[in-house]
Amino acid sequence: MRTLIIGIPLPHLTFDNYSLLSAPCLFDYPRMVVEMAEASRAVEEIIEGSAEHRTLDGERVLNGPSAPGTLGLADLLRRRRLEAERFFVRGGVAICFAYPDVALPGVAGLPDWRRCDWLPEPGGLRYREQLVGGYGKLGVEIEDSGHPFAAYVETFGSRLAYRAYLADGALAGVDGASVFARSAGGAAVGVELPVGGGRVVVLPPLDRVDPAKDRTPLAATLFECLERLSAGEGSPQPPEWIRKEAS
């Protein structure tokens, strides 16, 4: 089973690495991992004109109307939203390293676009109001050791510093939502949310990622967690070499 990775290149035989703008259709994958800040950074670069981005088939993405050989940024972002909706209808699982849902003004044709606008919400929850920004200190605690992604917290917990958390009471109206990790102050930073026929798993990111040291153990841990989640089983035990590299 292949996994779409957006915004954080991860080395694994089953991972396909892209940006939010260059990725294939989201619904052609059963699961994806998204670094939300890096995904929106690609959008910022188009708005600012600071970098060139192209679609999978080589069309240049521009902040304006679509034309032969180019694709308007607004049109592409609308496509991503539709693709994500179909992704979840098909039972897809999205793992999201969470950041607050900030506005990115300046998208021609979508002036009010926000970081999370491509990602459908579960009924009863609004990312804009209830995904709260924060600067968490290092350290995240496991609340549900049986959750498949508890292994991510176990392996990297001392290096996790949340940048967003679900507000108190935000999950009250979301049937089937669960919290498996919290900050030292009790904030919900590891959360599973049902969306359509699929799921969103919210994770706190590593405070700093060293590409040379961190990406291989991170990829291995995420793969094992995804496999266990797909199988409906409990949390896997990461290999000893992963724990040593992550510590």
* pLDDT mean values, one per 10 residues, the chain (247 residues): 95 97 97 96 96 95 95 97 97 96 95 95 90 92 96 94 92 90 95 94 90 91 95 51 44
Q: What CA–CA distances, in Å, run from 63 to 36, 44, 66, 83?
A: 20, 10, 9, 20
d(CA 14, CA 162): 27
CA–CA separation, 81 vs 104, rounded Å?
16
Give the pLDDT of residue 238.
42
What 8-state DSSP symbol labels residue 114? B
The phi and psi torsions of 212 (rounded to 5 degrees) equal -75, -30
Residue type, 27: F
How confident is the model at residue 247, as a pLDDT? 44
How many CB atoms are closer than 10 A to CB 210?
8
End-to-end CA distance of the chain: 29
Q: What CATH number has the domain bearing residue 151?
A: 3.40.50
Boundaries of domain holding 135 = 3-246
Number of domains in the chain: 1
Q: How many residues does the chain have?
A: 247
List helix spans (H) across 169-214: none
Rounded to an integer, what distance in angstroms lies between the CA atom of residue 146 and that of residue 65? 48
pLDDT of residue 76: 98
Q: How far is the CA of 71 from the CAs of 36, 78, 79, 142, 235, in angstroms?
A: 22, 12, 11, 43, 42
- Give CA–CA dist 6/69, Å, rounded: 24
Structure letter (DSSP) for residue 120: P
Q: What are residue 6's phi and psi, to 5 degrees?
A: -125, 120
Does the pTM surpass 0.85? The reply is yes
pLDDT in tens, 141-150: 999 999 999 9
